[in-house]
């Protein structure tokens, strides 16, 4: 959202002007953390979530957690992520798994589990919650390692760390798994953050698509979800023009 503004640092004030009190972002690493901190504090918003260091995106990387040859870099760059999170007073980090060029094998999975457990421990020392998210490989990110929502839940259960939860992106879950009602109910204790977008085009929640967000919001209320809901969608026009869905669903920022 707010892609009308090329700099992340400028989007903080734009979000505030649109009525937001809380923000999240994918990758803050293109700008000095001091610049982002100043912009966030000037706007008077709170940073809820950032993603971990993605690696070299020009080489197709989107996370390092599955790459055995990058384990030292994974640990080193986790410290950079922590620096940004602490400076922004951010208490949640999505640890990206990364892509894999071939069918993942047992060794890949073992590397991933080792790195995620390490990250959960290290983030816990800084009072930052670690999150893992299944990102769909059918539309958004081909060859993404963690593309199966059921697998994400399985990994949270297997690692069994008090500082590790699922990031439940309803758009990605719908694309890869569907069964949203049962999945939200069954996985609810393991969910640490929720994101929304319409499927299959990832537009605003009230746009044409497969997901009835009026129903979804009522379901989350019935489950007594009291966390944040991140707007992980791509506006069909100007960001502010597409915010009419908030009142339409009887919600407020």
Q: Alpha-carbon distance 20 to 191, whole Å? A: 23
Enter the pTM of the model. 0.95
At residue 197, the pLDDT reads 98
At residue 104 the predicted structure's pLDDT band, cuts being 50, 70 and 90, is low
Q: What ranges make up the beta strands (E) of 38-188?
A: 46-51, 92-94, 129-132, 164-169
Among residues 24, 117, 133, 204, which one is catalytic?
A: 133
Contact 50, 39 (CB under 8 A): no
Let me know if 221 is a catalytic residue: no
Let me know if 133 is a catalytic residue: yes
Q: What is the mean pLDDT of the chain?
A: 96
Average pLDDT on 174-185 reads: 97
Quote the DSSP letter at residue 97: B
- Cα 142 to Cα 70, 95, 97: the distances in Å are 20, 18, 13
Residue 45 gets the label, from left (phi > 0), alpha (psi -120 to 50) or beta, of beta
In this structure, what token pair is assigned to residue 111?
């590397």
Q: 121-173, pLDDT tens digit by residue? A: 999 999 999 999 999 999 999 999 999 999 999 999 999 999 999 999 999 99
- Cα 151 to Cα 18, 100, 143: the distances in Å are 37, 16, 15
Q: Kindly report the number of other CB atoms within 10 A of residue 72's CB atom.
A: 9
Helices 180-187 and 213-222: angle between axes, nearest 10 degrees: 20
SS (H, E, C) 15-80: HHHCCCCEEECCCCCCCCHHHHHHHHHHHCCEEEEEECCCCCHHHCCCECCCCHHHHHHHHHHHHH
Domains of the chain with CATH codes: 8-244 (3.20.20.150)
Residue in the structure block whose two tokens are 């080792």: 114
At residue 218 the predicted structure's pLDDT band, cuts being 50, 70 and 90, is very high
Among residues 24, 117, 204, 232, which one is catalytic?
A: 232
Average pLDDT on 6-27 reads: 97
Which of 170, 236, 251 has its CA nearest to residue 203? 236
């Amino acid at each position: 959202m707010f892609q009308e503004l090329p700099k992340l640092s400028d989007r903080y004030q734009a979000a505030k002007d649109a009525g937001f009190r809380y923000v999240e972002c994918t990758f803050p690493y293109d700008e000095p953390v001091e610049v982002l901190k100043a912009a966030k504090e000037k706007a008077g918003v709170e940073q809820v979530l950032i993603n971990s260091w993605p690696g070299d995106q020009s080489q197709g990387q989107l996370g390092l957690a599955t790459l055995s040859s990058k384990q030292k870099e994974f640990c080193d760059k986790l410290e950079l992520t922590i620096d940004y999170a602490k400076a922004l007073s951010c208490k949640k980090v999505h640890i990206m798994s990364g892509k894999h060029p071939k069918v993942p094998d047992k060794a890949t999975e073992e590397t991933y589990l080792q790195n995620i457990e390490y990250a959960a421990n290290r983030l816990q020392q800084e009072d930052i919650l670690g999150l893992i998210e299944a990102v769909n490989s059918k539309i958004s990110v081909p060859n993404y390692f963690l593309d199966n929502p059921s697998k994400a839940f399985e990994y949270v259960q297997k690692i069994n760390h008090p500082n590790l939860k699922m990031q439940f992106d309803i758009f990605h879950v719908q694309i890869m798994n569907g069964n949203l009602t049962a999945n939200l109910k069954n996985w609810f204790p393991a969910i640490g953050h929720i994101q929304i977008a319409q499927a299959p085009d990832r537009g605003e929640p009230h746009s044409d698509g497969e997901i009835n967000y009026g129903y979804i919001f009522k379901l989350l209320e019935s489950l007594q979800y009291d966390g944040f809901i991140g707007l992980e969608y791509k506006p069909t026009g100007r960001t502010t023009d597409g915010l009419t869905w908030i009142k339409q669903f009887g919600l407020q920022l």
